Amino acid sequence: MRLLHTMLRVGDLQRSIDFYTKVMGMKLLRTTDRPDQKYSLAFLGYEANPDQAELELTYNYGTTQYEMGTAYGHIAIGVEDAAATCDAVKAAGGNVTREAGPVKGGSTVIAFIQDPDGYKIELIERDA
């Protein structure tokens, strides 16, 4: 078994595609539009399956926002330099909600950013 993708519901598909491609550096891998079922999908990632898991963005026609709820935590992405990534995110218009620094009680450097729909993304500093 292996992880294939994670799905997030978004309120504006193009806005979210722009965020994940322009701010996070992902590639738009493929899209699907299902007008009869009233939804559209976009799959993004740094590489396509089977090399890496993908992110599926789902836009349900007419829904512009969702409640985050209390169960959702975050998506985690490994980066070489969390501080430099935060600077790049801010320069691209993204929202950094926790600057790079050691995790509480440890030494791993992390940071948090937020996408346009309010989903949290943890940046975890790792060697390349």
Among 17, 99, 2, which residue's Cα sits nearest to residue 58?
A: 17
Considering the domain boundaries, does residue 70 fall inside one? no
Give tens-digit pLDDT for 102-124: 999 999 999 999 999 999 999 99
CA distance 126 to 36: 44
Give tens-digit pLDDT for 23-38: 999 999 999 999 999 9
Considering the domain boundaries, does residue 86 fall inside one? yes
48 lies in the same domain as 92: no
What total of structural domains would you count in the chain? Answer: 2
Please answer whether residues 108 and 96 qualify as being in contact, where contact means their C-beta atoms are separated by less than 8 angstroms: no
pTM comes to 0.90
Is residue 92 scored above 70 in pLDDT?
yes
CA distance 5 to 56: 6
Tokens matching residue 25 = 């550096």
**Catalytic machinery residues:** 122
Considering the domain boundaries, does residue 11 fall inside one? yes
Percent of the chain with pLDDT over 90: 89
User: Across the chain, what does the average pLDDT equal?
Assistant: 95
pLDDT band of 96, cuts 50, 70, 90: very high
Cis peptide before 50 (omega within 30 of 0): yes
What mean pLDDT comes out for the span 40-57?
95
Rama region for 27: left / alpha / beta (φ>0; ψ in -120 to 50; rest)? beta
Tokens matching residue 86 = 């935060």
* CATH code (residue 41): 3.10.180.10
Please give the pLDDT value at position 128: 58
113 lies in the same domain as 80: yes
**Residue 98 lies in domain:** 75-125
Tokens matching residue 62 = 């007419």
